[in-house]
Amino acid sequence: MQKFYKLTLIFVGLIVMSISVQAHWGDRSLLNSVKRNKIDLISSGKDWAGLNAKQATNFFNYPNPAVTETTIAYTLTARANVTLKVIDLTGKQLALLVKQEQAAGKQEFYWVLAKNNITSGMYILLLQVDNKTYSRKIIVQ
């Protein structure tokens, strides 16, 4: 299962890079759609156990690309157990930023990259809200 998860993350990373290249070389409508939603990897909101309620919206970070720090923001639709972590493209966890129950509403986390020895590259932010996982690409320069 863990190997499948890592392969999935690598595949998703490749898709994100492909979208970035396509947007850079001509398909601006796709890039504009991604920017409008403020999400690079858009969750369908489907819970495969049968539930359809979205638990988090507007998951993004700014600035992106980041140099020394970034602010990670998301909105919870209800009180939930939240985990926010950073992984590399191989699936290795590099930092656990948040692990707590949070109230509904807008949440922000200010992250100084040097505290976790993050160097230049592409990473994935994983936001777990109860039983749902959302992802966001972050580029560090």
**So what's the pLDDT on residue 90?**
95
Coil, strand or helix at 27 = coil
Q: Supply 86's token pair.
A: 């950073």
Residue type, 102: Q
Domains, in order of start, for the chain: 2-140 (2.60.40.2550)
Per-residue exposure over 52-82, b if at least 16 CB sit within 10 Å of its own CB, e if not: eebbbbebbbeebebeeebebbbebeeebeb
For residues 108 and 124, the answer to whether their CB atoms sit within 8 Å is: no
**So what's the pLDDT on residue 103?**
96
Backbone angles phi, psi at 56, to 5 degrees: -140, 140
**So what's the pLDDT on residue 45?**
46
CA 56 to CA 77: how far, in whole Å? Answer: 6
Per-residue exposure over 23-32, b if at least 16 CB sit within 10 Å of its own CB, e if not: beeeeeeeee
* pLDDT tens figures, 76-125: 999 999 999 999 999 999 999 999 999 999 999 999 999 999 999 999 99
Coil, strand or helix at 15 = helix
More confident call, 106 vs 4 = 106
Q: Which of 84, 93, 87 is nearest to 128 (CA)?
A: 84
**So what's the pLDDT on residue 28?**
43
Coil, strand or helix at 6 = helix
Give the residue carrying structure tokens 């499948």.
4
* pLDDT tens figures, 17-59: 555 444 444 444 444 444 444 433 344 444 444 444 567 789 9
- Whether pLDDT at 8 is above 90: no
